[in-house]
Amino acid sequence: MKKNLTIIVMISLLLIGCLNGCIGPTVTDTFSGEYSVDEQTIVSVSNINGAIEITGWNGDKVTVSAVKTSTSGEEELRKINISVTQTEKHLEIETKYTGQSLIQYGVDYSIRVPFNTTIETLTTSNGAIQISHVKGDISASSSNGAITIENVEGVVSVSTSNGHIGIQNVTGIGNLRTSNGAITAEIQSIQDDTSIETSNGAVTVYVNPLINATFEMTTSNAKVQLQEITLNVSLLEATHVIGTLGTDGQKIDIRTSNANIYVYKLQAY
């Protein structure tokens, strides 16, 4: 009876290991490519389980370097494919996986684009996104990863979870959303009503004092703190502040919980 129980336990452990994808050694492979583009080209990246780093440079080609990883041996590694589709105006980079969904795998990208090439959409899961020195109205989304964007000529919108959001020196912002992570953002301008939202993380914004906007800021178990900037306040409570900057404009709604909200004057002005 004891022997049979031991066998059952061993089989159960083996099955659990298989379900978790632990059926082979960790292996990697690399991918690289160069693609001719012009100022009309729009670049998008769709990834699964990995980081995306995209940076502008003074070359005339998009260069793509990637590392593919599988914790389940060579056979599963071969099921991770990187597809690059180029049309007259678009360059689309996509990770495709044809194996079992429970297998542990991923791809990390490092991409350089010419300064005059437009970035449009970047998506991944379980990975960070870093963007710098590019142009375009960018939508970046991940899960379980930080997103950092700086020096972008365009409006950026960001969505992630369990990760920090950092926005610096961009033309304007759209919605910024995460959970269990802090948000730090410079607000040069907004085009529409804008939401900046997290939970269990502080929100720190640096605001262009020349914009016209209505702010509503709400937190719990913490405070809203205005630093070096003056709003025409219509509601002033420790956890809830409503006020305008300039004349009435678009609304900026800032929300978090269990953490402070800080509003500063952007020092460039």
Residue 102, pLDDT score: 54
Gap between the Cα atoms of 122 and 52, Å rounded: 8
Query: Residue 22 burial by CB count (10 A; 0-12/13-18/19+): exposed, middle or buried?
Result: middle
Q: Using the 8-state DSSP alphabet, how is residue 39 labeled?
A: T
Separation in Å, CA 29 to CA 43, 80, 103, 108, 250: 24, 10, 16, 11, 48
pLDDT tens per residue across span 212-223: 999 999 999 999
Nearest to 64 by CA among 93, 37, 90: 93
Nearest to 155 by CA among 131, 136, 127, 179: 136
Return the SS3 of 77. helix
Going 48 to 19 to 13 to 75, the CA torsion angle's sign is negative
- Other C-beta atoms closer than 10 Å to the C-beta of 228 total 12
Gap between the Cα atoms of 131 and 144, Å rounded: 17
Judge contact between 70 and 103, C-beta under 8 A.
Answer: yes
Q: Could you tell me how far CA 160 lies from the centroid of its own chain?
A: 6
Q: Could you tell me how far CA 75 lies from the centroid of its own chain?
A: 30
Structure tokens at 253: 């709604």
Judge contact between 184 and 220, C-beta under 8 A.
Answer: no
Residue 248, pLDDT score: 76
Residue 19, pLDDT score: 44
Residue 44, pLDDT score: 98
pLDDT tens per residue across span 47-103: 999 999 999 999 999 999 999 999 888 888 899 999 999 999 999 999 998 877 656
Gap between the Cα atoms of 90 and 269, Å rounded: 37
Low-confidence ranges of the chain (pLDDT < 70): 1-24, 101-103
What lies within 8 Å, CB to CB, of 190 at 6+ separation is 172, 173, 174, 211, 213, 249, 250, 252
Residue 100, pLDDT score: 73
